[in-house]
Amino acid sequence: MVQLTVSIQTWIQNLWERIFFRKGSAREMTLFYGNFIEVKAFYLETYGRLPSISLINDIDVTRAFAYISEGHAGKVQAVYQRCHYNWQKQQQEFTRTIFKLSGKTMIELGEDYAELLFDARNYELAERLVKVFSGNKAAVKEIDHEINIITYGSYGLELKQLEIQPTALDIGLYYNDDFAAVDAMIRERLMKDKDKGIVLLHGLPGTGKTTYLRHLIGQLKKKVLFVSPGVAGNLVNPEFIELLISNPNSILVIEDAENLIMDRKYNADSCVSNLLNISDGLLSDCLNVQIICTFNSSLSMIDNALMRKGRLIAKYEFGKLEKNKARKLAETLGITQPIETAMTLAEITNPASVSFEKPVAQTIGFRRELAADQI
């Protein structure tokens, strides 16, 4: 097996050299990736050959660091670190470390992983290190309520676990009367094991969509995945599907989803096709992922395919609280601001907020519009 691996590696190495190591090579441009050394390029630069690689996630990096530093993985020839200063602890802390070891071996340690790069003929050492590192699994912090942010890391899409504080919310007090039945339907379906479907929540800013989401997540037992704005475009990437395959029976939350779920007639970059496959297509029976989309625009701009019977769990438009309900909420919160009309939750709970928008006087005809302070 090792002999075959070496032969393949030699062939790949020769191909690599023919393509990239000629005059005008951009080899040196890949040595630094992002904010640190790209370890695979560093290995190639140092030893002139491609490495075999083993990756171990979710390990106790502190123990791995001590094990390597004490020479148990081989003689340490050099250490390269990327550090940052922790102001709270008033000390430097490393975020990534590369050990250059004897026997053409390198090990990169990150926040919770070890990546081994080695010569295929030194497979026994790598196997021993994998066994040692995997035996020191990182302690799992018990979190009552969490949300997993999908981010783009050094090795593609990954999850960052964050603890959230659940919001105790009286649905009947904070929302109009027609929402209670919709809330009950949403909770019943999202608590169902191995289910699928889409929830569409939309309405004006400040009407309580995010507040409701925080309350809802605090009641769920499933893993919740949150798509951060920076990686929203990756919904069309096969790598995103791989991440969902690794996290089945979960709930995917997409905030500010207008551009992603807009009717495909208006937006060629829409991710509707992927969402349809996840929620009700060939993939759905394997993934069992439920999707919650929130947005500010009207449902008329959203692709109709997302709202077909059997695919849609629920849809709801958050609006301003009716006058009487707005008054009752303000009274409950101890807010004395007089309320004479329907208001959003943001307007009720932040009565002292200052608006920085200048009113604009509307004119008739083709005259230039004048700001209020110019009239």
Work out the average pLDDT over 276-283. 76
Quick check: 17 pLDDT over 60? no
Residue 282: both structure tokens together: 């060939």
Question: Which is it for the CA torsion 35, 120, 63, 73, positive or negative?
Answer: negative
DSSP 34-81: TTEE-HHHHHHHHHSSPPEEEEEESB-HHHHHHHHHTTTTS-EEEEEE
DSSP H or E run through 101: strand 91-101
Query: Which domains, and CATH codes, for the chain?
Result: 2-134 (no CATH), 146-152+160-318 (3.40.50.300), 322-375 (no CATH)
Spell out the residues 6+ positions from residue 281 whose beta carbon is closer than 8 angstroms to its own.
none
Question: What band does 9 get if pLDDT is binned at 50, 70 and 90?
Answer: low
* Residue 284 parent element (H or E): helix 284-287
Across 8-12, 248-252, 266-270, 359-363, the highest mean pLDDT is recorded for: 248-252
Tell me the C-alpha distance between 104 and 47, whole Å: 7
Q: pLDDT tens digit string along 145-156?
A: 778 888 876 667
pLDDT tier for residue 258 given thresholds of 50, 70 and 90: confident
How high is the mean pLDDT of the chain? 81
Q: At what angle do helices 238-245 and 272-280 cross, to 10 degrees?
A: 20
Q: Among 1-15, 81-95, 145-159, which is the least confidently predicted range?
A: 1-15
Question: What pLDDT does 12 receive?
Answer: 55
Paired tokens of 117? 């790069």
Q: What are phi and psi of 325, to 5 degrees?
A: -70, -40
